[in-house]
Chain A
């Protein structure tokens, strides 16, 4: 994807170490006036419903909407697929809100329905999943998944300390740019910096915790030299956690996850998850809603806005800095 620039080593180190919450985006400083925002309504359409990451985006946006007295609601489909998301976009467009915040299920196939919404005068804010056509949408807010993957690679190298061995990668299903970049980031990093590590063929789990667990057990049995597991979505991390425990390999085989949930946070606390790449969906939601209001009020917003990460470990999980990144299971918490 063209908008992803491969991070230089310096940039990577910056991202990994110098993570701060204040995203250095121009519009973050600009605060829309609550008075003028009265009759504005914003709808957020997640990639799918019931996912901790997207739910946290919604929480961040809801909090900001309350502050600005903006109408806010969430509408979405239970599956991550364009033919499920398109009817939702169409129905929301019929209702004609002032702005739509959307986490796109596909960079190309979602263009036509969103173009129609934009032509109807609705401002489009892309969140964690841009479109291939940059004229649709006023901005895209997301963290760079290649960098996230490279950060996971760096952690893996730190944990395995240059030992030879195999690393297993678990993903939901092939064909999603976001998770592909997360995988590629780690693979690129390890190939370059730790060539002794052998990367096993990628295992697909269809987002099933039970499959993720049994696949880890199978891989551990087939490859006694297994030293690390990298899981690029919530359910895979939860499954791998269980699978390693069942195979009595917790701690011996290092587990690095991506995104958080309650069981993953518990796993980090107990050290069963060695490291976890955590994005900042709450901030993406807040920024997205602010930008939606600004766009409706006629302000100009940068087209690309990058959001930070942290690497959560047993050592830092309870610090305030990491805690604000952790995904929320309910907005009030």
Chain B
């Protein structure tokens, strides 16, 4: 996914018709240029950063950090963030923004637990009905955001800042603020079990990432997302229904939060109402670290995967290295700034070249 995913958007930009040259030689040169471009992109660069972090913690405490159980810890922690980051990547490539995902996650979390409790019993049926309900209400809030942004012309920052508070308040209204534990055993088992040594929760995140990564980089829907983000007027003139496209992306963002809420419910066997107020920061940080432009039009799914893994790995590794907790917050913050700064330097030198 790395090579094809990274090369597609850039390769289109540099088609230079040089008809006189030998076609095969040109193909070879182009291939080499494409490789050089790929190596010079944010995801590859950030992968290097992630690798450095990994090596550093391995040097500090190899037995604890690189143990299978600990790698499982890291991937499990990353999974719900990754699901939301996938949708956020689409939205940010299209110059959209959704700050409400953490609250929508909690709301869907609550609806899922309530529905599962209301359906009652055990087995797959109540779990699936709860999942559909959760993704449904998530997509519903996403649509609400999308309508406010596209039809009512309220800026995305304000709209989703509003729903950030309102949706969490609505979740509190339903539960009186108390976490709900009406979770069927089958869901708890789903959260605890694994396949090929990888937790089902992580599998869900992997499937979502691969499917939506392929859609982003290989389909017309994906290309429209880039065009809407890089030049909205050009997108309109090219006949893309910009409003409808954005509406779909906001709904996708909400639905992803609904799915992340389901994964959290499976992992903790309880709603986690108070635990998601900073999720959106983790997600947007991961997406931006992965090379998606804050101004739209630019981004890779594989970068998002790496971008999410960097802060999660840092948190885990710093605990294993037994760094004092307050230093962890300081260190994580500055390492993020440093990583993006290095990426900017790289980008500038690339633009000069």
Contact = CB atoms under 8 A, between A and B. Distances in A.
A318 interface: no
Interface string B66-97: 01011001001100000000000000000000
A95 to B, nearest CB: 5
A82 B61 contact: no
Interface stretch (A86-94, A222-230, A251-259): A86-94
A108 B61 CA distance: 31
Contacts of A92: 319
Nearest to A41: B322
B176 interface: yes
A288 to B, nearest CB: 18
Contacts of B272: 81-83, 109
B275 A82 contact: yes
A174 B179 CA distance: 9
A308 interface: no
Interface stretch (A4-12, A68-76, A265-273, A293-301): A68-76
B319 to A, nearest CB: 4
B199 to A, nearest CB: 12
Interface in B305-322: 312, 315-316, 319-320, 322
Instruction: Using C-beta atoms within 8 Å of the partner chain, give the interface range for chain A.
Output: 20 to 34
Interface in B290-338: 312, 315-316, 319-320, 322, 324-326, 329
Nearest to A81: B275
A291 B251 CA distance: 52
A106 B178 CA distance: 12
A77 B332 CA distance: 13
Contacts of B67: 94
A241 B27 CA distance: 75
Interface of B: 61, 64-65, 67, 69-70, 73, 76-77, 172, 175-179, 181, 192, 264, 267-270, 272-278, 312, 315-316, 319-320, 322, 324-326, 329
Given A83-B267, A109-B269, A175-B177, 13 more contacts: A75-B319, A79-B274, A79-B275, A82-B268, A83-B275, A83-B276, A86-B268, A87-B73, A94-B316, A108-B270, A173-B274, A175-B175, A175-B178
